[in-house]
Structure formats: C-alpha cells, structure tokens
Amino acid sequence: MSLSTLRSPSPERSRSPALSISSDSTTFSFEDDPFARSILEEVMEPSIKQEVLDSDGHVERVPDEYIESSDDEDKMAESMTTVFRDDFRCFDKLEDIESILHRWARTEGFAIVRRDSKPKGNPTRVVIKCKRGGKYQSHRKDPSIAADKQRKGAKSFKVDCSYRIVLKRGTVLDPWIISEQDHCVHNHGPDGVSAFRQYRMEDVLPEDIKDIITWYNNRIPVKSILSNLHAKFLERHEECHLNAKDISNIVAANRNELLGGLTPLQWLLKRLEEAGFNPKVDVNPQTKRLTRLFFAHPEALKLYRRNPDLLFIDSTYKTNRWSMPLLNISGVTNNNMTIQVAVCFLSEESEPDYDWAMEQLFNCITDQKVRQPRTIITDRELALINAIVKRFQFSKHILCQWHVSQNVCLKAKPHFPAPKKPEKGKGPAVPNERFLEFMDEWRQLLQSLTEAEYEKRLYAFEMVGKYPYEAVRYAVGWLNWKEKLVRCF
C-alpha cells in the first residue's frame, strides 16, 4: 500500500488545526482535526515514531524529506501547513484507503459508507459519507395510515450529517488520492461501536457464525446465545457488541444461503423429491397458492408393508404459521411400535380436502403394492369418515375410544361436585369419587365383549339417581355409534 499525506485544507477551515510536529520530527501533538490524527496514526506507529509499513508489509522509515517541520507551531496551525508532500498521498487500491477510513471511524465512534461511485464498474471518483448523512424521517412516514397500524420503532437513523470525503484517480491505472475533505466535521456526537452493525460484525469469526446457527437450530433462546458469545469473546480478550437483531440477521442470512434463490416451498419440494418422499401438491387455480401437500417417508412405507393391518388418522392444529391442519397417518408394528406412514397439510377440514388426502393415501399404498388396511381408527370427524368409506371400501372403520372418553370427561365433569382442594394449597386437587366411578363404569361399558354384557352394563349405567342425569345423557348419546365404538360390535 502506498502512503498518502493530508491535503492542505481550504482557508475557511483554518479554525481547525490539524496537528503539530516539533522541529526534530519526533514529538507529535494532535489537536482538533481527527482525520489528520487518524491518518498519521495509521502510517506512523508510536513505538517506531517515523517508521511505517511498505506495500509488502515490511517496516520502513519515512524519509525526512517527506516531513515538514516548523519552529513556530502557532504559525503552522494557522496556515494549515501540509504535513506530508502531495506525492506521498497515493493509494494503489481503493480498499486500502477505505480500510484506513473505516478503522478511524470505528475508533472515533462514527460510521462511514460509500455513497457514490462513478462510473459504475471501474470508478474513478468515489464519495465517502457519514452513515448518518441524509434527511431525517420520523416513524410516522405515511400520515394517511392510522397511527395504530404504523410500524413502530421505524424512525430514521439519519441526521443530515454533511461529513464527506472524495477519492479520485485519473484513470483506472492511476493511484487513488484524497481529492476533497472540506466537509470533515460531523454534526452529531459519536455513537459508539454498538450503534453500527458493520462494526459489530467485524470481530465475528466464521466459527462464531457456525456456533450461532447450531445453537439457534437447537432452539437455544437468543438471550442464551448472546451470553455464550460474550463468554467466547472474553476468552479471546475481545468485547462482543452483537445484539438480538444481529442474531436474527445471521440466521436469516444462513437461511437465504440454504434456499439458494428458491422460495421456501420450492426448497421444501426439492428436498422431499431428493429424499424420495414423492410429494403430491394441490394448487388453487385462481390464486396459484398451494392448498394441500401430501408426502410419505420411504422407510416408513417399508415398515408399513410388513404391518398393514391398522391405520390411525387424526388431525392436529396450530402446528404452523399458516394454521393449516396437519393430517397425521400412522400405523402400528407387531411389537406395538408406532409408524408415521404419511402426513398431509390441508387448507381446511372439509370433505373435499379429506377426500383428496385419502385419494393420495390410497394411490401411495397401491404404488407400494400394499393391501388395504383391515381397520382404520379416527375420531368422529364426519367429513373424514365419509372420505374413508369412499376410498377404502374393504377396510373397517371404528372410532377411537380414547377421543370419545376425553369428550365424555370434559362434558360430564361440570355436573359433578368440584374436586377437593388439598390442605394448605399444596399438591393437586382430588377429583370427586362419584365422577371417577362414572368414568370407570363408562370405560367398562365400551369394553363389553358380548352384547348381553353390554346390555347389562348399560342398564346399570343408566340407573336413575346413580349419576347426574345430564352427564349420563351426554355419554349415552355416543352409543348411537356403538357399532364403531363398543368392542362387542
């Protein structure tokens, strides 16, 4: 890197002296011009005084002829005498001078950015400005939008700072020089390193980013991630300036890199295809938006081929940001292990949606040359039951006793005395004994092995005065489905 000196400022800036150098060129005193101070500190290490680094990184001594000395410091400050000759102000690469300016700005608590480059591609003129330059805009950006609907905390960071440095070169082969520095005064105080993301990220290593991604994927809270980073930086004798927004930006950048220019849905379908899940999609013809998605794990299908007797089908809710119901299709092996055969995202719980899902399940089973299941168990979702009867005509459908008992428990419990609270408020509440007897007798009724046993237990269950009438009436209402619910049928 070639070294440069400061250009003699315009006379109107005579109120800001740059620096003073004693007659022996070994003692330096800095005053009001931080830019002059930063350049001198950049090219002259205090320990070696007039020694600097040459373009190869080796230490060399600044020749005395490049340094002007004066016996009258006041006279020098008044006239803004150039410290180095103009031919000592050249930089071979734009990155070199920008690096110096950024290092100075970070030290002083400011931030600078490249605002203009002309012409594009191989510029010969570059304008460096303060990051806070530009017109201030409040968070009330659009008066036509209601205040409660406007984005909060979106006020501008800019304060119309006029700080500016112009870098020029004659041609693309010429070195860069500092052409203009007449507006090197900020209209605001220093903000510190923590105020600018470009400086907060400077000390972050690639291994730090990998750790952040790993911790985030393991669902570690952002506060804990920041605590881990502070401890890690402390081991390196550095200070961590990252905040929660920086963690979010790092995660988002990694996500965009993984997407590789694809939308999240395109990326998902591509990964499912590569993994052999053979996804099936349904798109709304008007809006062109995905409404249904079905896929099955290839290894799960192999296990199901060996155990095709039983299928459980049930929907879960609030499992994704779009609130799409997830239809979970699972089976059971001969050693009572659960197999998740397939899953299907639906737009809603309607009969057309369930019919589409059962069609995809039927085609998937047929393609794998697996016979239809002997029994399919669901809750009492009428749209799902109709779709199953339509597609799986040779399978028997029954209701899940656990789901039914949960409904009976929820509806019948308010008709019994409230649970007894434990003494001194410690421990769980004790349920009412009659309610426990009611639920136990209901479960025994569902497990009846013969019709005679079922009739006998039903008579005892409906005995007047034994249990609250409203609770018994709700439970008996489920027996309209006794062919799909009671064991003996």
Q: Encode the chain (489 residues) as per-residue pLDDT tens digits.
A: 333 333 333 333 333 333 333 333 333 333 444 544 444 444 333 333 333 334 443 333 334 443 344 444 343 333 222 232 344 457 788 888 888 888 888 888 888 888 888 888 788 889 988 888 887 766 555 666 676 666 665 567 788 888 888 888 888 888 888 877 667 788 888 888 888 888 888 889 999 999 999 999 999 999 999 999 999 999 998 989 999 999 999 999 999 999 988 988 899 999 999 988 999 999 988 888 889 999 999 999 999 998 888 999 998 877 777 788 899 999 998 888 889 999 999 988 889 999 999 999 999 998 888 888 999 999 999 999 999 999 898 899 999 999 999 999 999 999 998 888 777 667 777 888 999 999 999 999 999 999 999 999 999 999 888 999 999 999 999 999 999 999 888
Q: How far apart are CA 386 and CA 351, in angstroms?
A: 7
Q: Are residues 375 and 394 in the same domain?
A: yes
> Do 303 and 245 fall into the same domain?
no
Q: What is the model's pLDDT at position 88?
A: 40
175 and 222: one domain? no
Asked if the structure places residue 96 within a domain, the reply is: no
- Pair 297, 381 in one domain: yes
Q: Does some domain include residue 132?
A: yes
Distance separating alpha carbons of residues 253 and 268, to the nearest angstrom: 18
pLDDT of residue 60: 37
- The CA distances from residue 54 to 43, 77, 442, in Å, are 10, 29, 91
| Beta-carbon contacts of residue 105 (< 8 Å; ≥ 6 apart) | 111, 112
Q: To the nearest 10°, the Cα dihedral for 115, 118, 123, 128?
A: -20
- Per-residue pLDDT, 4: 35
Pairing of strands 176-183, 164-168: antiparallel
Same domain for 119 and 61, yes or no, is no
Domain boundary among 234, 259, 284: 259
Q: What is the DSSP letter of 84?
A: B
Does any domain span residue 331? yes
In a domain, 382, yes or no: yes
Instruction: Retrieve residue 265's tokens.
Output: 């849905």
- Angle between helix axes 451-461 and 433-446 (nearest 10 degrees) is 160
Query: If we measure between CA atoms, which residue out of 381, 396, 401, 379 comes closest to residue 445?
Result: 401
Domain check: are 395 and 408 in the same one?
A: no
The confidence score (pLDDT) of residue 232 equals: 93
Characterise 448 by phi-psi region: left (phi > 0), alpha (psi -120 to 50), beta (else).
beta
Query: What single DSSP character describes residue 9?
Result: P
Residue 148, in any domain of the structure:
no
Pair of tokens at residue 192: 């510190």
Asked whether residue 268 is domain-assigned, the answer is: no
Last residue of a domain, which of 88, 123, 146?
88
The answer on 382 and 346 residing in a single domain is: yes
Residue 451 located in a structural domain: yes
Same domain for 241 and 304, yes or no, is no
| DSSP symbols for 320-381 | STT---EEEEEEE-TTS-EEEEEEEE-SSSSHHHHHHHHHHHHHHHHHTT-PPPSEEEE-S-
Backbone region of residue 443 per phi and psi (left: phi > 0; alpha: psi in -120 to 50; beta: other values): alpha
Last residue of one domain, picked from the residues 168, 195, 222: 195
Same-domain check for residues 289 and 376: yes
Which pair of tokens denotes residue 443?
A: 């479960």
Q: What pLDDT is stored for residue 98 in this prediction?
A: 85
Give pTM, 2 decimals: 0.63
What is residue 164's three-state secondary structure? Answer: strand
Q: In this structure, are 334 and 438 located in the same domain?
A: no
Number of domains in the chain: 5
Q: Say yes or no: 239 and 342 in one domain.
A: no
The pLDDT, as a whole number, for residue 45 is 36
Residue 146 lies in a domain: no
Element (H, E) at 115: strand 112-118
Burial class of residue 325, CB neighbours in 10 A (0-12, 13-18, 19+)? buried
The domain of 218 spans: 202-259
Q: Are residues 353 and 370 in the same domain?
A: yes
Instruction: Give how far Cα 477 sits from Cα of 462, 468, 474, Å.
Output: 12, 15, 5
